[in-house]
Amino acid sequence: MREAYHVELENLATRLAEMSVQVADAMERATKALLESDLKLAEQVISDDRLVDDARADCEEQAYALLALQAPVATDLRIVLAAIHAAESLERMGDLALHVAKAARRRHPDPVLPANVQPYFADMGTIAVRLARKVEQIIKTRDVEAARSLEDDDDHVDDIHRHLFSVIMDKNWEHGVSTAVDVTLLGRFYERYADHAVSVARRMVFVVTGRMPGYSSSDA
Amino acid sequence: MREAYHVELENLATRLAEMSVQVADAMERATKALLESDLKLAEQVISDDRLVDDARADCEEQAYALLALQAPVATDLRIVLAAIHAAESLERMGDLALHVAKAARRRHPDPVLPANVQPYFADMGTIAVRLARKVEQIIKTRDVEAARSLEDDDDHVDDIHRHLFSVIMDKNWEHGVSTAVDVTLLGRFYERYADHAVSVARRMVFVVTGRMPGYSSSDA
């Protein structure tokens, strides 16, 4: 049983790594669509989201098969359940990229963001995409320490997100309520994406090493 | 194995029903705290959230034990996994009630919401709480048809949420950007809470009947 279990777990981890690449690409394109009012790119993210949903369903099926056929216990069981949770979070990251792309499409050909907040979104986008790409690396390298660095990236996104509120709420904000609402929701989408990425990374460390990284496991 | 499995599954369903009551109470109190600037109630929701997190951990442990000791397959396996997903969504609903309570605390003693949007939040709060309470009823009555009615409630929350945007973005909005940002985020918290409630209800139908209700299973 052990060998078949490990082969199947390896396949499942590979599939989750592919999902990480999908949602990293989705957020990279969605951010570019947002910053450059690129309708074609936004449409691509929107139509590709189906592939992320399909990949999540595949991952769940692989995990179900693994549970049903191998009936793992103890740590092995928890590893498979961590993979199921990771797939759910990755799908949610895809949804958040989709929301960003939809905002870009909704305002097209106008830009969604005024020039003075664009750099914040460029930064949050870069970090969010890097977080998702690190998940793939963690699976390839099984590097627990690499996973720790994700917490710093997530803190950085939180800092930018907080600062963004002070920009919107400043008395000198001159872009009106409607733009403030867009910026508020978009900021939240990036912040949630980064949170989910950290949660996925933590779970993937467990999937590939059988040990949880030594920090809080909260992923609310 | 079958009998022990059913007893343990019953216990798990009961625990999930208790969680539904906890998150319904949390949203009821958070909404009251929001509408009446009730700091004490907001503080209670904030400190009680720990209990929801604990309950979720308990549910996961019960589900792990069930999987490890009974090694269910086929539908039985999917039922246990649905329970794990339901517990995760319920915890998330608790977090959303917590966010509402924190907004009430942050602006105290000022009201967060201007008078003209309060009725929308009163309505969304009522429906959100009703959704969570219906989850408990579904477990008690095993009534698949009752679960269908949740879709209508969720649609209603979506309608109010959409309308709220038109109020905020109307040129006659006179409450400034900062209040618009609060209203935007709070609206989203209720909308997400209702979405999660529908997803939990659907899964609980499956947990108690072994059959999925006959509508789309998307819960993004």
> Is residue A64 scored above 50 in pLDDT?
yes
Q: Which pLDDT does position A101 carry in this prediction?
A: 98
> Is residue B1 scored above 80 in pLDDT?
no
- B35 in contact with chain A, both atoms CB, cutoff 8 A: no
Residue B151 CB-density burial (10 A; 0-12 exposed, 13-18 middle, 19+ buried): middle
Query: pLDDT tens for residues B160-180?
Result: 999 999 999 999 999 999 999
A147-156, A180-189, B163-172: the lowest-pLDDT one: A147-156
Residue B135 structure tokens: 């989850």
Q: What's the pLDDT band for B2 if we cut at 50, 70, 90?
A: confident
Query: pLDDT tens for residues A18-47?
Result: 999 999 999 999 999 999 999 999 999 999
- Inspect the interface and report whether the beta carbons of B177 and A178 lie closer than 8 Å: no
Query: pLDDT tens for residues B67-91?
Result: 999 999 999 999 999 999 999 999 9
Q: Could you tell me if residue A99 is inside a domain?
A: yes
DSSP B130-149: HHHHHHHHHHHH--HHHHHH
Domain count for chain A? 1
A206-210, A214-218, B122-126: the lowest-pLDDT one: A214-218
Q: Could you tell me if residue B183 is inside a domain?
A: yes
> Is residue A117 scored above 90 in pLDDT?
yes
Residue B91: give its domain's CATH number. 1.20.58.220
Cβ contacts (< 8 Å) between B83 and chain A: which residues?
A: none
Higher-confidence position of B2 and B136:
B136
Q: Could you tell me if residue A219 is inside a domain?
A: no
In total, chain B counts a number of residues equal to 220
- A85 in contact with chain B, both atoms CB, cutoff 8 A: yes
Q: Could you tell me if residue B217 is inside a domain?
A: no
- A7 in contact with chain B, both atoms CB, cutoff 8 A: no
d(CA A132, CA A31) in angstroms, rounded, equals 14
Q: Could you tell me if residue A125 is inside a domain?
A: yes
Phi, psi of B143 (to 5 degrees): -100, 105
Q: Could you tell me if residue A131 is inside a domain?
A: yes
Half-sphere exposure of A96 (CA within 13 A, CB side): 28
- Would you report the helix, strand and coil content of chain B in percent, each value rounded to 5? 85, 0, 15
Q: Could you tell me if residue B59 is inside a domain?
A: yes
Domain of residue A91 covers 2-209
> Is residue A139 scored above 60 in pLDDT?
yes
Distance from CA of B59 to the nearest CA of A (A): 13
- B5 in contact with chain A, both atoms CB, cutoff 8 A: no
What ipTM was reported for this prediction?
A: 0.91
Cβ(A125)–Cβ(A112) under 8 Å?
A: no
Q: Could you tell me if residue A214 is inside a domain?
A: no
